[in-house]
Amino acid sequence: MDKTSVQKKEWEPKIIAFLCNWCSYAGADLAGVSRFQYPPNIRVVRVPCSGRMSPNILLDALKAGADGVLVSGCHPGDCHYISGNLFARRRFAIFKSLIEFLGIEPGRLNFSWISAAEGEQFAKVVKEVTERVRALGPARRLVKEI
Amino acid sequence: MSTTNSTITEDIRAKAKQLLSSGEVAAFLGFTTGTLPMTMRPFVARRPEDAERLVWNSFCVMNLANYLPDLLKSVEPPRGPKDPPPEGPLPKVGVLATGCWSRNIVVQIQENQVQRDRLVILGIGSRGMVDRKKVLAQVDGREVWTSEEGEHSLVIEGPGFKKEIQRWDVVRDNCQTCIHPNPVIYDYQVGQPVSPREVKDRFRQVNEIEAMSSEERWSWFQEEISSCIRCYACRNACPLCYCPTCFVDDSRPQWVGKSIDLADTSIFHILRAYHCAGRCTDCGACESACPMGIHMRLFTKKLEKDVLELYGTEAGMDPDVPLPLTTYKEDDPQNFLITEAVGQTSEAGEGVKP
């Protein structure tokens, strides 16, 4: 399917959400249980910890055609593995800055902290991310056409 | 005429000869003349008489730290993977180190790739290395037969021309903006320490690109890497790239396709640069090794700038300061988070935080 036909068919952003098992995934669960509405544009991938996220995986998602990526973990200090998210925070800060420097639109890559109690916050973040990615349009940079 | 570099060459030869004949080191890592003009080749002297072949000049662009982990292994007595390490101290290796190379050695020590007590480091204050491509541009890409180096000039000779070039005009970009020309760690000093250069803005090239729009930066990045032939010379020249299997060679999962599709090439360059975050000393070996003239040094320079701004450290300056991505602080900046823009919901905050 080429790009133009995708756009004609009312394009909807595809967002890959990497959620940490202990906080954000449970936060997403709570959002569902509490019936908070959020856009159905995210595809959730559960990861053991936000510290598990390697930039390889984020770039792979973009290469495979994801329009946006969201990575969410526990709040600093709440990590199940004590400090996984604190290492991740440094890595993400540097990585986001690097790929924006190289011309990837800000907003394609999103990071947040969502605890297991923040169902409403989860819905809010997903709404915000979806709006940002929708405003950017379909991903073109880094997408590998096969 | 005796120049700074010829004096340093003499000193290196004398010291290497002495270290090798006394048996203090099993091998000495330096440079010798390459097969083409204006190229130098890393050289391992293993016998005292080999020391005469060591040369020091302005074309020593490769980073010697790159060869250390393998060289240290090669001088150890042979043993199987499950054999216990031999008793007594292992043989030592002598190595030349300028500012950036010594910082790379510090990074390798921190990452347990080399052991400080197995190294004998000859520190040299670097006057900046010459970019071969800049010299070739000065002579309109004509063939160069010989290059004669004076104190502040180069005399380039080729078919039907002879040209004198000011040395500083053809010094590599990274050396021109270098503020740490003297080695951080060394056992012996060769030559005089260099007085630190006045650099107005060492991130000027990065700042210029940052000032562009996202669109322009993307076209700059694509333009820059479009000639990449994926020879991985930049990776092989890099003293930070010692992984037994590089991510580009992984086949399951295959992070980077083998084609020269621009998406694959982009991902290769992003990840190669990113793996150097907080470790790169801007030695410029990647750029010097590149056969296509890609300025991939700018990608790592951006990382260097970010790390300095966010975490206030520079790679390899102090063996006791942990590498920035192997540590953290409770209050690291996190204004890149989307939650900063959305704001926290009031009731959620109460639920989690005591």
3-state DSSP call for residue A45?
strand
pLDDT at B350 over 50: no
- Closest residue in B to A56 (Cα–Cα): B255
- What residue has token string 């002598």? B94
Any idea which residue has 């500012």 for tokens?
B99
- Which comes out higher in pLDDT, residue B115 or B347? B115
Per residue in B164-183, pLDDT tens?
A: 999 999 999 999 999 999 99
Q: Do A34 and A62 form a contact (C-beta atoms < 8 A)? A: no
pLDDT at B140 (0 to 100): 87
Compute the average pLDDT of residues A6-23.
87
CB-based contact A142:A116 (threshold 8 Å):
no
- In this predicted structure, what is the pLDDT of residue B198? 82
Given this model, what pLDDT does residue A63 score?
A: 93
The span from the CA of A30 to the CA of A122, in Å, is 9
- Summarised one tens digit per residue, pLDDT across range B67-76 is 999 999 999 9
Residues of A in contact with B347 (CB under 8 A): 120
Q: Alpha-carbon distance B334 to A139, whole Å?
A: 25
Among B261, B336, B351, whose Cβ lies nearest the Cβ of A92? Answer: B336
Dihedral sign for Cα atoms in the order B75, B104, B123, B134: positive
Q: Distance (Å, rounded) from C-alpha B111 to C-alpha B68?
A: 13
Closest CA to B42 of B64, B17, B70, B12: B64
Q: Which residue in B214, B225, B309, B331 has the most chain A C-beta atoms within 10 A of its own C-beta, making it the best mutation to test that interface?
A: B214
The model carries a pTM of: 0.91
What is the pLDDT at residue A8?
Answer: 60
Does a cis peptide bond (omega within 30 degrees of 0) precede residue B181?
no
Question: Positive or negative, the Cα torsion across B253, B258, B262, B268?
Answer: positive
**Nearest by Cα to B209 from B222, B200, B194, B220:** B220
* DSSP characters over B166-217: EGGGGB-HHHHT-S--S-SS-SEEESPPPPPP--S-TTHHHHHHHTS-HHHH
Question: Domain for residue A11, yes or no?
Answer: no
Q: Is B347 on the interface with A (CB under 8 A)?
A: yes
Chain A residues closer than 8 Å to B263 by CB: 63, 142-145
Spans of all domains in chain B = 201-328
CA distance B95 to chain A (A): 33
Confidence band, pLDDT 50/70/90 cuts, at residue A7: low
DSSP string, A23-40: THHHHHHHHHHTT----T
Model confidence pLDDT, tens digit, residues B240-294: 999 999 999 988 889 998 888 899 999 999 999 999 999 999 999 999 999 999 9
Instruction: Give the count of domains, chain A.
Output: 1
CA distance B346 to B354: 14
d(CA B45, CA B17): 9
On the question of pLDDT at B349 being above 50, the answer is no
Q: To the nearest whole percent, how much of chain A has pLDDT over 90? A: 88
Asked, for residue A3, whether it belongs to a domain, the answer is: no
A120 interfacial to chain B (CB closer than 8 Å): yes
Residues B158, B74: contact at Cβ < 8 Å? Answer: no
Q: Is residue B352's pLDDT more than 70?
A: no
A75 at interface of B, judged by CB pairs closer than 8 A: yes
A14 located within any domain: no
Please state, in angstroms and as integers, the Cα–Cα distance from residue B346 to each residue in A23, A118, B112, B273, B350, following that order: 18, 10, 47, 40, 7
Q: Give me the amino acid identity at B328.
A: Y
State which residue of chain B sits closest to A55, comparing Cα positions: B271
Q: Is the separation of the CB atoms in A29 and A20 below 8 Å?
A: no
- Render pLDDT for B154-169 as a digit per residue (tens, 0 to 9): 999 989 889 999 999 9
A84-101 and B262-274 helices, crossing angle to 10°: 130
Name residue B165's beta-bridge partners. B154
Is there a domain that residue A124 lies in?
yes
| Mean pLDDT, chain B, whole residue set | 90
B251 contacts chain A (CB < 8 A)? no
- CA-based nearest distance B221→chain A, Å: 6
> Where residue B32 falls among pLDDT bands split at 50, 70, 90?
very high
Confidence (pLDDT) at B1: 53
Say yes or no to pLDDT of A55 above 60.
yes
Q: Sort out which chain B residues have CB atoms less than 8 A from A59's CB and list them.
A: 255, 267, 270-271
A143 pLDDT more than 50: yes
What's the confidence (pLDDT) of residue B216?
A: 95
| CA proximity to B114, closest of B311, B316, B324, B278 | B316
User: How many CB atoms are located within 10 Å of the residue B176 CB?
Assistant: 15
Instruction: Provide the b/e sequence for B183-216 (b: ≥16 CB within 10 Å).
Output: bbbbbeebbeebeeeeeeebbebbeebeeeebee
Hunting for tokens 């394609």 — which residue is that? A108
The answer for residues whose C-beta is within 8 angstroms of residue B54's C-beta and 6 or more apart is: B9, B12, B13, B16, B28, B30, B31, B32, B43, B45
DSSP A124: H
Domain that holds residue A80: 19-136
Contact predicate B97/B124, CB 8 Å: yes
Select the more confidently predicted residue: B86 or B332: B332
pLDDT of residue B354 exceeding 60? no
Q: Which residue has the tokens 């037969």?
A: B145
Element (H, E) at B321: none
Put simply, the answer to whether A89 touches B332 (Cβ < 8 Å) is yes
- Chains A–B, number of C-beta pairs less than 8 Å apart: 147
Q: Is the pLDDT of residue B101 over 80?
A: yes
